Copies of this chain bind each other. A is one copy, B any other.
Amino acid sequence: MLNIDGRSRVPIYEQIKNQLMELIRLEVYSPHDKLPSIRALAADAGLNVNTVKRAMLDLEADGVVYSLPGRGSFVSEDALGSASVRKKAFAELSGAIRAARSKGVTLEDITALAHGIYDEKSIESEDNDNG
């Protein structure tokens, strides 16, 4: 289910968030679908339950999922349209682009890189991390 890279500098809970969002983007989980339980995800990936819980709480705060006590977590109606998530994504991305520009990366480099990434098929062996 989750493909965590224990050697990445990206926090594990961020990797979980990113991968769950990726699964939602790919419509593996559609709005109102029930996500696997926190315990199932943790057991499956060999992670601490608290780490997975932290990720799920973040997603809930971002409006990507909602949880029904005793029943589990579900994909929100507007999971991908979440204003909060998009705002953060844009903020982080523009910061990264500015940093890259300072380091000599050209506009052409960026568009080429982005095209290359969007042409990829799946997350499979990808870490989907930030650096």
The contact of A101 among B11, B66, B111, B117, by CB within 8 Å, is: B117
Oligomer: number of copies: 4
The contact of A103 among B9, B89, B95, B111, by CB within 8 Å, is: B89
User: By the criterion CB–CB under 8 Å, are B117 and A98 in contact?
Assistant: yes
Asked if A129 CB lies within 8 Å of chain B CBs, one says yes
Q: How far is the CA of A22 from the CA of B102 in the complex (A)?
A: 5
Per the 8 Å Cβ criterion, residues 52-106 of A in contact with B are: 61, 66, 68-69, 74, 80-82, 85-86, 88-105
- Tally of contact residues, A, Cβ under 8 A: 52
Contact with B along A94-131 (1 / 0, CB 8 A): 11111111111101011101110110000000101111
Known: A61-B61, A93-B99, A107-B115. 13 other contacts (CB 8 A): A18-B98, A81-B104, A82-B104, A92-B96, A92-B100, A92-B131, A93-B96, A93-B110, A94-B113, A96-B97, A98-B126, A99-B129, A102-B128
